[in-house]
Every structure is written in structure tokens, then in C-alpha cells.
Amino acid sequence: MATLSSAQASKKIEDLKKKIADADYKYYVLAEPDIDDYKYDLMMKELEALEKDFPQFKSDDSPTNRVSGEPTKSFKVVFHQAPMLSLANTYNEEELYEFDKRIKSILPGEKFEYVCELKFDGLAVSLIYENGKLKSGATRGDGEKGDDITQNIKTIRSIPLSTTHSKIKYFEARGEVFFRKEDFLKINEEQELKGEKTFANARNTAAGTLKQKDSKAVAERPLQFFAYYLRTDDVKLASHSDNLKLLKDLRLPVNDKWVKVSSIEEAKKYCDKIEETRDDLPYEIDGVVIKVNSLSQQDELGAVSKSPRWAVAYKFKAKQQITKIKSISLQVGRVGTVTPVANLEPVFLAGSTISRATLHNFDEIERKDIREGDYVKIEKGGDVIPKVVEVIKEKRPKGLPEFPHPTNCPVCNTHLEKPEGEVAYYCPNTACPAQVQGRIEHFVQRDAMEIEGLGFQIIEIFIGKGFISNYADIYDLHKRKKELLELERFGEKSITNILNGIEQSKEKPFDKVLFALGVRHIGERTAKILAKHFGSIDKLMNATQEEINEVHEIGPKISESVAKFFSDKHNLKLVERLRKAGLKFEIDKSITQKINPLFANKTFVLTGTLEKYKRDEAAKIIEDLGGKTSSSVSKKTDFVLAGSDAGSKLEKARALGVKVIDENEFEKMIG
């Protein structure tokens, strides 16, 4: 190695990178390996040694960079250059034909084709390639923004770190990350051997794996990827079917079961054929995606809300199994709701073993006449949540008694209440251990305060030891560090990580804190609406129920719940303790002041190569200043920000009379 000249080493490194990339493509994408593992490992070791001796030639797209040496501390937020829209669902032939009718009404007299693709049960991600190299990978998130998971994406061997094309230098590919059925079963077998909890389904496991902070842990799991979307301004794109072929030319894995059809009748036949054979596929699918093929027609059809008008998901009927209810147990949630759950004889269904199923409420038990000892038909709602569909009455043993309505809380024995007009029973005791645990788990979850390390088992231990009895106690745990370190199986590193996570959570914005409080009926979106309208916890606490009810999108149930929560002295004490701990109870004024009237509610389309900004940076500036970004130009577009080599979008903007600006004008608008 050391005897090589710099020029020789550089050439050798590039040759090895190309050979390894070819081997990965043939093995992971084409499933046609042409070298054995031993030869592959030798090439990888030779490359590692060369890069060590000649570090100046080690590049970001080297296969030795697939796994990062250091775990990431947190995931940065990435703003998508074009929204990652969700699909509208159809569940039967009538709804599918209604979709076709709407297309024809918007495109009267026009001929069009559909492309039908499998709908994978995985996690949608976006990949950005710049100058032929994988620049970033991100989760879909809320459609507008997601998490930067670039380092974890690199561990997926079927995703190329670099790609070459004579004309395409910058492009975005979107697709689905998933596990094969066989691989998911192996993962659960390994969990069982280690004595750890098995995973409920492959989709959530894939999502959880991609959010691991240590890419080494991600690399140990055989994640797969299929690309189904391409966006670039470097060449003129005409149809979705051509894009799928182009993605394949770019060496991204594309599922080969897609078809192009000329009518909705042909699309339905394809759906029926796939539904019949779905169990034979090596991966889980839950339907077929049907898209208008022409991209110009897609632009003309546009989108409604967060779904495109030009595409629809035809969802398959949920898979079903028959099993026996061994018993019915009662669970108490964080706001005291008592939910009946069926404990089942384990049965394999849609990729996982099911031993429990929700019964929703006691009216549901009565309506379906569900009893302990019954044989029932179960299915996975949306192929995720198991539920009881019906009782197999002919298999019912004689003399099974009806399941009684509860009178007392199964955890604290407090007499239950059933509010008028509601189907659920509630435990009114806010000190009920089940509610305490539930409220703390809700408080620390990712969508709320996101306190790393405080899982349900650790919370249970801390409650049992008397360290915490409510979520405000979390911020006093640093005073108990000595006691925490004395706990069995808790090392200094894990305790330090928990305490650091608690400290970092103090930076969460007001709307996250409001959601974390666990006010009944207050979800993430409602918390954002209330935080934005009132601006601070004090104004919200002092608002009357009528004033809260007047807020757009807030109804009487929510306003009553908020008023009730802040009239409780115990809750007010918790809020004050959290305030003293340093949590944010008002909107960051520096953010609200950033809204620029030139950007507020305006839609921007970015095209061409920008010199001063990366596209995601420009998109984030637009979003931060109150604007929106879109992937396509229409009459509703306010501005097109055009860089060099702008393509068809620039032409369309001029044809429609949309204002086109360059980077200098963009900077003047920013001010």
C-alpha cells in the first residue's frame, strides 16, 4: 500500500469504490450476485487500508462511510423542497370508479393512462442526490418537514451512495423503507432469544429502526428500499412510468410489479390479482396505488388539502383470523378512561403474533355480545391495530355469562363515572397509579417533551421507588442522582443520559409543553392552535370557556376540558413547578416576529441551480418567513425562484404570468 504513488492510490480507491458499488447493486437490487462474500470482504478491507494511508482521497460516497463511527445526538429538522403528500384511500369498487369519474370531470375529453404500483407497508423517505452523490435522507414527517436520517439511510445497502447519469446531476427520489417478512420474523426470534419484548409489526419496527441514534444498530437490521418517485429539473420529465424507468437507470431499486393501464377497469383487475396473491409476496403490502401517468395532467389536476387529486390508494380488506378470548381485562388510561381488552389465544396475523385486541368500550361488548370464552374473528384495522370483528356464535360453549359493566376502577378501586352522552367509563381519581403512569409516559413521549431514556419500564421503577409521582417531579430527579446511581442495572452513563435529556427538554416550545400537560381532547394540532392564539399559558389559564370556544377550530368539548383542567388546584401547582423548572410557557416572540408580509401565505416554487443557497435552505427561509413551497407551478403559485439551468417550470411560470424572481430579488424580499 505504502509503495503506491498518490496518483496510483487515487485510481485504486476509485476502482475499488466502483467494484463495491457494482457488487452492492447486483446483490441488493438485482438479486444476482457475481462475487462471493470472501472476495467482497477483501475488497472492502483493501479500500479501508488505502483510505487510512491516503485520507485525502476518502470521500463522502465511499462504502466505508455507510456506518458512522459516532452516534448522533439528535435529528435535525429538514424542510422538504416539495410537500410529501399523503394519499386518499378507497376501499371498494364504487369509490375507485368515483375517483376515475372525478379525473374525467377535471380533464373532459382528454385521454389518460394510469400506473398501478404496490402500496408497501413501510416508511416513506426522501433522498436528495447532488452532483451524483447521496447528499441527504429524510423521513416524511408531517409532509412539510421531517427528520434528517442521512447517516441511517446510508446503512441500507440497496441505496446507492453515488450514481451517474449524463444529464441528471441533482434529483430527489422518494420511496419506502421496509422489512421483508422473513427478516422481520428473524428479528422477533432474536428478541425472544434475548428475553426481550417482540415487535408488533414490521412497519413500526422499520420506522423505529430508522430513528435509532446509533447507525451501527441500524446497520445490523436488513432494511430494504423501493423508489417510486423522481423529481429533477435537469431533464424534462413527461410521465410517471418513464420516471420509474429512469430511477432504475439511476441504479435505485424499483419494484418491478408496476403496470401501465388505459382504464380504471384494467386497474381494478390488477388490484384484484394482487390482492389474491399478496400472501405470496416476500414483503407486506396493504393495497395498490393508482396514479395518472402524465405529469402535465398531474399538474393540471393538482391537489386538495394534503392529498393529490391524481392518485389514490386502493386499500385491501384487512386480514382476518379466528381465535378464542381467554379473558377480558380492563386498562386505565392517563385521563382515567377504562378500556376493555381481549386476551386471546395467540394467533399469527398479517406478519405478527396477536395475543391481545381492543374491545373499545362496553357498548361495543354489548352490541357484539362478546363474552369470555368466545371464539371470535379478529382483524388488524389498517393492518396495524388488532380488533374483534364478530363472535362465532355457533362455536360458543353453553352457559357463558355476559361480561358485566364495571363499577369500580380495576387499579385503585375508586367508583367509576360515566358522563352523560358518552360511552366510556372513567376513574375520577387523578392519583390512580395507572393514570399517574400514563400521564408521565405521555409527557415524556417524542411528540411532547421528548425525554430520551425515560421509557415506560424506567418510569414504572421510578414511581415504585417514590422518586416521581407526577411529571413535575421529573425536573427534580437531578437532586436524587446519588439514589438513582444506587439502583440495580443503572450505570452512570444511563443516568447521565436521562438527566441530560430532562435538561434538553426545557428547550421545547410552548405548544409542545401544552400538549405534554395531557389536557383531555388536546392533541398536537389543537395545542398549536391554542398556543398561537393565546401566546402564553397565563392568558390561556385566565380565559373563560366562552373565549376559548371562540377560537377557530376549537369546539365546546375542548373549551370545557381546558377550563376544567386549569380550575383544578393540583394542576395549577404542577404548572407552577414546571414554570420554575424552566419550561417555556409562552410563544418565542423572536419566531412570531420573523413573519414577513412579502412571504405570508405566499406559494413559492424553486427551480434550477441556486448559487447562494441549497434548495432546502431556501425552502426553510421561505417557511420561516410565513410562506409555503410547492413542487409544481400553477395559477395559484405566487413566485418562482429561478436559478441557472431552470427548465420547464420556468417556461410554465412565464406562460401563466407567474412572477419569476432570481436570488438577488429573493434576498431583497428577505430584507
pLDDT digits (tens, 9 = 90+) for 90-137: 888 999 999 999 999 999 999 999 999 999 988 999 999 999 899 999
Residues contacting 656, CB < 8 A, separation 6+ = 633, 634, 635, 637
Q: β-strand 114-120 against 259-261: which pairing, if any? A: antiparallel
Higher pLDDT, 633 or 259: 259
Residue of 430, 429, 425, 412 lying closest to 571 (CA atoms):
430
Confidence of residue 70 (pLDDT cuts 50, 70, 90): low
CATH class of 320-404: mainly beta
What's the DSSP call for residue 29? I
Whether 534 has a pLDDT exceeding 50, the answer reads yes
pLDDT at 617: 76
Q: Nine-digit cell at 404?
A: 358485566
The pLDDT, as a whole number, for residue 69 is 56
Identify the helix (H) or strand (E) that includes residue 151: helix 150-153
Q: Which residues fall within 8 angstroms of residue 580, CB to CB, at 6 or more apart? A: none
Whole-number percent of the chain with pLDDT over 70: 93
Phi-psi region of 373 (alpha: psi -120 to 50; beta: other; left: phi over 0): left
Catalytic residue of the set 12, 19, 73, 119: 119
Q: Report yes or no: 325 and 373 within 8 Å, Cβ to Cβ.
A: yes
The residues near 651 (Cβ < 8 Å, ≥ 6 apart) are none
Q: Is the pLDDT of residue 645 over 70?
A: no
More confident residue, 466 or 670: 466
**Three cell numbers, residue 512:** 409542545
Tell me the average pLDDT across 394-420: 92
CATH topology of domain 603-670: Rossmann fold (3.40.50)
**What pLDDT is stored for residue 505 in this prediction?**
94
Average pLDDT of 65-69? 67
Domain 89-315 classification at class level: alpha beta
**Over residues 248-269, mean pLDDT:** 96
Q: What is the pLDDT of residue 81?
A: 86
Percent of the chain with pLDDT over 90: 48
Distance of CA 284 to the CA centre of its chain: 17
pLDDT (tens digit, 9 = 90+) per residue, 219-236?
A: 889 999 999 999 999 999
Q: Which CATH number among 1.10.10.10, 1.10.287.610, 3.60.15.10, 3.60.20.10 corresponds to the domain 6-65? A: 1.10.287.610
Q: Mapped to the 3 state alphabet, what secondary structure does 153-217 carry?
A: HCCCCCCCCECCCCCCCEEEEEEEEECEHHHHHHHHHHHHHCCCCCCCCHHHHHHHHHCCCCHHH
Q: Are 86 and 143 in contact (CB under 8 A)?
A: yes
Mean pLDDT over 41-53 rounds to 82
Q: For residue 288, what pLDDT is reported?
A: 97
Domain borders along the chain are 6-65, 89-315, 320-404, 433-589, 603-670
For the cut 80, the answer to whether the pLDDT of residue 52 exceeds it is: yes
Q: Is the pLDDT of residue 582 over 60?
A: yes
Question: Is 227 in contact with 28 (CB distance < 8 Å)?
Answer: no
d(CA 195, CA 185): 15
Q: Judge whether 26 counts as a catalytic residue.
A: no
E strand intervals along 193-319: 224-231, 259-261, 285-292, 303-304, 307-308, 311-315
Cβ count near 645 (within 10 Å):
13
Could you tell me the pLDDT band of residue 71, with boundaries at 50, 70 and 90? low
Biggest CA pair distance of the chain: 88
Query: Looking at residue 72, what is its pLDDT?
Result: 63
**What values do phi and psi take at 448, rounded to 5?**
-110, -110
Residues 86 and 306 sit within 8 Å (Cβ to Cβ) = yes
Q: In whole angstroms, what is the distance from residue 540 CA to residue 115 CA?
A: 50
Give the global pTM: 0.57
User: Once rounded to an integer, what is the mean pLDDT over residues 538-543?
Assistant: 94
Strands lying side by side in the sheet with 639-642: 628-630, 603-607, 639-642, 659-661
Q: Residue 321 has which C-alpha cell?
A: 383470523
Question: Using 50, 70 and 90 to split pLDDT, how confident is the model at 198?
Answer: confident
State residue 6's pLDDT score: 84
**What was the pLDDT predicted at 443?**
94
Q: How confident is the model at residue 1 (pLDDT cuts 50, 70, 90)?
A: very low
- Choice between 377 and 591, residue whose per-residue pLDDT is larger: 377
Computed over its alpha carbons, how large is the radius of gyration of the chain? 28
Residue 351, pLDDT score: 64
Check residue 216 and give its pLDDT. 86
pLDDT at 61: 76
Confidence of residue 5 (pLDDT cuts 50, 70, 90): confident
**Position 590 pLDDT exceeds 70:** no
pLDDT of residue 381: 57
Superfamily of domain 433-589: 5' to 3' exonuclease, C-terminal subdomain (1.10.150.20)
